[in-house]
């Protein structure tokens, strides 16, 4: 088929070591990013957060997407006038004071805000809005074990600002050809963030999503990504699943909506791998 879009990439494929935050008391910040929409980014944050909370970790999920799909996907309805990610990014408030408990034990959220839709224009020309400082409040989260950040489907100010303070980036990769084209661009952006803003930024891994193993295209994408990125690729494979697609409309993670299904099992495995990479837990 000739899926050669990743070849010749300027990104090095050295395997990331387990994340060790610069401060031993600070929760690691893992940003889920991909500038292409519809790759399973929000679904991944929702379900990893729920799985990790189920395993006893104190998780803070941060919704930086103005569409607020992460917020609704975990069934959280913010009170009128409640704090949101807008306060984190624009008002520069620390995350610890913005976190709100959800119905899932162990999981808190900083909900998204429609006001974030115009943030690039709102902060244009603001010297205080440097990429290094935009999401600096994420470094002050209090007593959480990990911070999972959902970003907009773009490589704009919000995503770059999150990467500037992150310990690592988790990349969902849809098992389709055009997803690979966007992956090369994302890796180039990560390299630039490392060079200019955050030299300690690691690749947590690549999670293959929406896989239909019956198709040659799906198998070709898996092979191409594995050949290029090696052990950075998660062993878990998230299938294309009606149940996974339905769960957000019910405001619950797949482990609650359809336990025992292939979608639920794939995210349970992904959570185990995530814990191994971030918390040094042996799988």
More confident residue, 11 or 129: 129
**Per-residue model confidence as pLDDT tens digits over 200-232:** 999 999 999 999 988 888 889 999 999 999 999
More confident residue, 15 or 96: 96
More confident residue, 12 or 142: 142
Query: Quick one: pLDDT band at residue 26, thresholds 50, 70, 90?
Result: confident
Alpha-carbon distance of 250 to 110, in angstroms, equals 20
For residue 6, the model assigns a pLDDT of: 55
For residue 130, the model assigns a pLDDT of: 59
**Per-residue model confidence as pLDDT tens digits over 139-171:** 999 899 999 999 998 888 899 999 999 999 999
Please report, for the chain, the start and end positions of each structural domain, with discontinuous segments joined by +.
29-276
More confident residue, 134 or 93: 93
Q: Is residue 264 within 8 Å of 254, Cβ to Cβ?
A: yes
Query: What's the CATH number for 29-276?
Result: 3.40.50.300
Query: Quick one: pLDDT band at residue 274, thresholds 50, 70, 90?
Result: very high
Give the strand pairing for 59-63 and 168-174. Answer: unpaired
Give the residue among 204, 138, 208 at the shortest CA–CA distance from 172.
208
Q: Is a pLDDT exceeding 60 seen at residue 14?
A: no
Quickly list DSSP for the chain: ----TTTT-SS--PPPPPP--SSTTSPPEEEE--SSSSSSHHHHHHHHHHHHHHTT--EEEEE--TT-HHHHHTT--PPTT---HHHHHTS---GGGT-EE-SSTTEEEE---GGGGGHHHHTTT-GGG-HHHHTGGGG---S-SEEEEE--SS-SHHHHHHHHH-SEEEEEEESSHHHHHHHHHHHHHHHHHHHHT-TT-EEEEEEEEEE-TTSHHHHHHHHHHHHHHGGGEEEEEEEP-HHHHHGGGGTS-HHHHSTTSHHHHHHHHHHHHHHHHHH----
For residue 25, the model assigns a pLDDT of: 65
Query: Quick one: pLDDT band at residue 36, thresholds 50, 70, 90?
Result: confident
**Per-residue model confidence as pLDDT tens digits over 181-207:** 778 889 999 999 999 999 999 999 999
Alpha-carbon distance of 233 to 16, in angstroms, equals 11
For residue 127, the model assigns a pLDDT of: 52
Order of strands across the sheet with 146-150? 100-101, 107-110, 59-63, 146-150, 29-32, 168-174, 202-211, 233-239
Q: Is a pLDDT exceeding 50 seen at residue 34?
A: yes
Q: Is residue 40 within 8 Å of 172, Cβ to Cβ?
A: yes
Query: Quick one: pLDDT band at residue 263, thresholds 50, 70, 90?
Result: very high
Q: Is a pLDDT exceeding 50 seen at residue 7?
A: no
Q: Is residue 221 within 8 Å of 3, Cβ to Cβ?
A: yes
Tokens for 265, please give them: 């099992």
More confident residue, 154 or 279: 279
Alpha-carbon distance of 142 to 15, in angstroms, equals 30
**Per-residue model confidence as pLDDT tens digits over 100-128:** 999 999 999 999 999 998 887 877 666 54
For residue 126, the model assigns a pLDDT of: 62
Alpha-carbon distance of 254 to 252, in angstroms, equals 7
Percent of the chain exceeding pLDDT 90 equals 68
Query: Quick one: pLDDT band at residue 11, thresholds 50, 70, 90?
Result: very low
Average pLDDT rounded to a whole number, residues 236-263? 96
For residue 203, the model assigns a pLDDT of: 97
Alpha-carbon distance of 210 to 173, in angstroms, equals 8
Give the residue among 241, 233, 231, 248 at the shortest CA–CA distance from 180.
233
Q: Is a pLDDT exceeding 60 seen at residue 30?
A: yes
């Amino acid at each position: 088929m000739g899926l050669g879009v990743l070849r010749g990439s300027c990104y090095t494929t050295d395997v990331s070591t387990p994340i060790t935050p610069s401060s031993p008391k600070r929760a690691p910040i893992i940003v889920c990013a991909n500038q292409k929409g519809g790759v399973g980014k929000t679904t991944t944050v929702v379900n990893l957060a729920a799985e990790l909370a189920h395993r006893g970790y104190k998780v803070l999920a941060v919704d930086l997407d103005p569409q607020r799909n992460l917020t609704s996907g975990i069934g959280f309805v913010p009170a009128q006038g409640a704090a949101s990610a807008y306060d984190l990014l624009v008002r520069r408030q620390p995350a610890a004071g913005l976190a709100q408990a959800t119905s899932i034990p162990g999981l808190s959220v900083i909900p998204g805000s429609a006001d974030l839709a115009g943030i690039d224009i709102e902060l244009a020309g603001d010297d205080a809005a440097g990429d290094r400082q935009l999401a600096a409040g994420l470094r002050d989260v209090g007593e959480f074990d990990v911070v999972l950040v959902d970003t907009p489907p773009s490589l704009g100010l919000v995503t770059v600002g999150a990467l500037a303070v992150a310990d690592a980036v988790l990349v969902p990769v849809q098992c389709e050809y055009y997803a690979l084209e966007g992956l090369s661009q994302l890796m180039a952006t990560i390299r630039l963030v490392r060079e200019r803003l955050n030299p300690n930024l690691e690749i947590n891994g690549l999670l293959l999503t929406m896989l239909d193993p019956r198709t040659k295209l799906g198998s070709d994408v898996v092979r191409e990504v594995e050949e290029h990125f090696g052990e950075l690729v998660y062993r878990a494979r998230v299938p294309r699943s009606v149940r996974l697609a339905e769960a957000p409309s019910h405001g619950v993670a797949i482990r609650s909506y359809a336990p025992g299904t292939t979608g639920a099992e794939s995210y349970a495995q992904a959570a185990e791998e995530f814990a191994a990479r971030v918390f040094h837990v042996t799988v």
